Amino acid sequence: MRVGFAGTPDFAALALEAILAAGFELPLVLTQPDRPKGRGLRAESSPVKRLAETRGLPVLQPATLKTDEARAPLLAVPLDVLVVAAYGLILPQAVLSWPRHGCINIHASLLPRWRGAAPIQRAIAAGDEVTGVTIMQMDAGLDTGAMIESARVPIGPRETAGTLHGKLAAAGARSIVAVLTRLARDGALDRTPQPATGATYASKVERTDAAIDWSAASEAIDRQVRAFDPVPGAATVLGDLGVKVWCAEPITFTTAAAAGTIVCAGKEGIDVACGHGVLRLREVQPANGKRMSAAAFAAGRGVVAGTRLGAPPPA
C-alpha cells in the first residue's frame, strides 16, 4: 500500500517514524518550506523533512496548494492514502480526492471537542481531565470528518502543553499504524460521523492569550501557565520589566490584597493575590534573561510584599 505523508513539526515526525517502522511504502512526503529561525535567521528544515531525508524519502515543500500549478508535482504521484499530521496547509478538494482512499488526519483531541489549531493548549487551559487523539477521514470542513479511531489520554494535574504533547504524539503514532494496518488488510475503514453536539473550537494561540490577567482565579492562571509552556510562555510585567512565568501553583492563603499584588516573596517563591485565591510563582524568566527560581528572582530584584504585577501591553 502506497502511503503519502504530510506533516511538519515533531508531533508529525513521530507518526512518520512509526509508519516507516511498520514497513509501509512511502513514495512521497509533504512538509512546510524551510523557515528562517534563530538570531542569524538561517533557513531551518522541519523535523519531518529532516527525518524524511535521513531515510531517503522524496520530499516536496509547496508554499501553497491553492493552484493547479502548485498541486501538479504531488498529484502526479499515485497514492492509496495520505496521512496528515499538523501539516499547516489547508488541503483543497483536489488534494482530498487525490489518494484512492482519501486523506486521514491525526488530530490531538477527542473530536468533536477542540477542533482547530491548538487543541493541546486549549484542553489544559479549560481544565479538561481527559483528552486524546482522533484518526479522522478528512473532508472540506475544519476537523469535521468522520472518525476512524480514537485513543483517550488523561491530563495530569500538573500537565503542561509540552508533556501532554509528547503523550499525544505517541498515542497518535500508535493509532495511525493500527489504522493503516487495517486498511492494508481489509481494503476499507469503518467510520463514524462526529456527534452533532459537543463541538468546541481550539483557536490558534496568540501572544495576547498568554498575558496573565491577575483578576482571574488562581486555578485558572495556573492552567494558563501550564497550557502555554513551552510556547509562548505565560507573561506578566513587574514595573517595566516583562516576566514569563514557567511554573506556579495555587496555594491555600487568605488575603484582602488587590489582584496582582505580591503578598509574600521568600525562599518558597513569590505569592501573588489573584481575583480569587493566591498563586505561588516557582519559576520565572525576566526579559532577555534565563529561567530561574522565583526566589532567586525576588532576591536579585529586591521584590517585596506590596509590589504589583500587571498585564503586558498588547502585542
Do residues 304 and 239 make contact, with C-beta atoms less than 8 angstroms apart? no
Give me the average pLDDT of each 10-residue run along the chain (315 residues). Answer: 98 98 98 84 91 98 96 97 97 97 98 98 98 97 97 98 98 98 97 96 93 97 98 96 97 92 96 97 96 97 94 72
Domain edges within the chain = 2-202, 207-310
Q: Record the pTM.
A: 0.95
Cα–Cα distance between 8 and 89 in angstroms, integer? 10
| 225 in Cβ contact with 234 (< 8 Å) | yes
What is the fold, at CATH topology level, of the domain defined by 207-310? Methionyl-tRNA Fmet Formyltransferase; Chain A, domain 2 (3.10.25)
- Give the three cell numbers for residue 159: 500537565
Q: Does domain 2-202 have CATH number 3.40.50.170?
A: yes
pLDDT attached to residue 39: 67
57 CB-near residues (< 8 Å, 6+ apart): 26, 28, 29
Q: How far is 111 from 145, CA to CA, in rounded Å?
A: 9
**Cα end-to-end distance, the chain, whole Å:** 48
